Structure 1
């Protein structure tokens, strides 16, 4: 019963953390800093309304958080749908997303094959990094606009996108009222365009370092999130005036959600409005046809509102509608057919390459086996997790090599990284605390053992983590295979987490790997006595090395040394 309680408690805690990350991670659109920035802009709108006597008796809280909006039935559906989507996201969205890393690899390979000499020898520096940031940012935005345009112009895709447009009122949470397939397709198309653009830029300008980021977010995206992004899905009308000829304002996106027929299929842009200008789908705030103080109504005009106000129905309703009228949904204009065909061909090619890649040998995960540009590209494509394995060089009895911990933890870290798919492994630390050197204690009494002072080991751990964070990794995991590594790892993780709170970078000391791996209980269930199981260099350690590096076990010396003490042999147990 206690085990079940722990399992439920861990599950609830994990789900709660996943929901809270929406507000605590800078990479999330509803990060607290972005919400505060939106509130400041909303305050400016409120003061302007008061100055112009548009709502002289309206209080600030009433203006910011009207009950009829935030407690509307549609808003309540948003809250539940957003929470459910968030929890299911790794299962229902990520598996279907075409990796930007695959697009980078394909375009890089093609450019190397057809234009290997097409390069510009510019000096590295801030200018190149800023140029890459802008180029990738614009390409990402184009991909989002293209996907959005197709969702409005292709009837079959529109059925999926209706889920988002069925919101009758809008709050910042409405951004998550997206069908999972809508999200997956949009992420795939934008990942391809951004990946291809980055590969092209890095091929042309090989001295480029990496895109400029603030809190692990592309500089352009960060700035856009700050200047009112979270007012897009809200009741607060904020236009950008003349700047709307370049940027999509919150007001322009609200026009996009308007019930008015003249606003349908307009303003599909995410950041830049010139894509809509080129497509003839842009409507500036001043062109919306609203009288001063007039508000827009949101939702699906001519559709049944009731059927879109059920959380679970939002997942299934698009498929029912597609099945009922699929033949009519294939009717579209010739330009739309051509655009859709080109997009499908590009996405299909990248997807085929990705599936082929997934079916082949696992990609390299060892940091030391990659070039600096390969690491840079993996980080840019979304690999933000890195494992720092710590082993040791110590005596392991007469039957096992001194580097036992290094082989075991390196093999474990590699398997974990390959299973995760978006994770790298730093070089294994083979120098760790093994006890006092002079006079020697513990393992230092046996020849070959190498020991560091704990403060030196902690310094190496800390500087390693700082280096990795500087390069763009946001989750740094210490994986220690030796007892003496555990406390220093925990102290360094606690220190850095306190220092980096709010930055979106976390350091994890994976103590469960060493202290709660279930090995002793597993052996006990199979009849082994505690004296047989033992501890250092016993059954468990020997079995691990046999699995990870069998040649590291000396078969001729593997037999139990009856009567031999730990002090004499360095072995505790059979």
Structure 2
């Protein structure tokens, strides 16, 4: 029974929450604001699953980071709400309408997810190569344990950069407000799964979807070793970029973080200001046996 549950956990979690959101907003024309408590339910269930079936019990041990991560989540999801609320204004300003409104809502949502996934992945990829973007993105990489809430922990300016890369093309096409609302909800649900501490075993779907078993390698502290598995939803972009990576290696607390900056600020204010300060750097440790391939 446990094996079956761990197999269906990730696809069931994603399809269940996003499916209900699409039904409510897209097919019942329900108020998108109900997605906010829906995300709260998803966060609670994610935390409960991590307690019941942890990948590593050590990842469930708080590091005085619960309050900080909560502020990150509230700020970033609040910015998402403001951005979604502005979409009707943007749509009214657009002189053209290229969005395929004749498609079913499910088809429109799938299109939005694929396009946003590509844009966000490319911004993510650039964030590991352009120093000014990395300084913003480093906030997210400073975590030293992996649990679902980590997915919502980002510097607000970096979240804005990712949103522009992923959503701006959709807005220029005329993406409707309901699709944008469910897209934002789907991204938040996927981020919970990417950083989850559940010992999920999604089988062949885990090779197609960028869930925690692959994304944990992206958070390695060994210099450029973590420049792998950039995709948000799909792994196809990493295969095209040549950055796909998997290994028979069990990630631990000691493998996570920023190896060249072990004293990176841990409080919210410090992380908000960190990209604009000259922080001390050192040499990143080499990857241990089993992870060397990722640094090539």
TM over 0.5: yes
CA distance in 2, matches of 1:313, 1:265: 25
Give the match for residue 67 of structure 2.
Answer: 80
161, 173, 176: which one aligns with 1:185: 161
Give the match for residue 109 of structure 1.
Answer: 95
Give the match for residue 299 of structure 1.
Answer: 257
Give the match for residue 203 of structure 2.
Answer: 241
Task: Give RMSD over aligned pairs.
Answer: 4.3
Give the match for residue 452 of structure 1.
Answer: none
More strand by proportion, 1 or 2? 1
Q: Which has the larger radius of gyration?
A: 1
Alignment pair present for 1:264 and 2:226: yes
More helix by proportion, 1 or 2? 2
Superposed, 1:349-498 pairs within 5 Å as none
Q: Deviations over 1:155-189 (max 9, x none)?
A: 11101111110111122222232112112222232
Give the match for residue 215 of structure 2.
Answer: 253
Superposed, 1:325-336 pairs within 5 Å as none
Please list every run of 5 or more consecutive structure 1 residues that lacks an aligned counterpart in the other structure.
Answer: 1-23, 47-62, 113-118, 203-208, 326-574
CA distance in 1, matches of 2:42, 2:71: 24
Give the match for residue 277 of structure 1.
Answer: 239
41, 46, 62: which one aligns with 1:32: 41
* Secondary structure at the counterpart of residue 128 of structure 2: helix
Give the match for residue 16 of structure 2.
Answer: none
Give the match for residue 142 of structure 2.
Answer: 166
123, 133, 138: which one aligns with 1:157: 133
User: Is the alpha carbon distance of 1:102 and 1:272 closer, same or farther for their aligned partners in structure 2, counting shifts above 3 Å?
Assistant: farther
CA distance in 2, matches of 1:98, 1:151: 27
195, 215, 227: which one aligns with 2:171: 195
Higher relative contact order (CA 8 A, sep 6+): 2
Please list every run of 5 or more consecutive structure 2 residues that lacks an aligned counterpart in the other structure.
Answer: 1-32, 282-296
* Secondary structure at the counterpart of residue 178 of structure 1: coil
Residues matched between the structures, number: 247
Superposed, 1:128-143 pairs within 5 Å as 128-143=104-119
User: Is the alpha carbon distance of 1:307 and 1:255 closer, same or farther for their aligned partners in structure 2, counting shifts above 3 Å?
Assistant: closer
Say if 1:172 and 1:232, in contact at 8 Å, map to a contact too.
yes
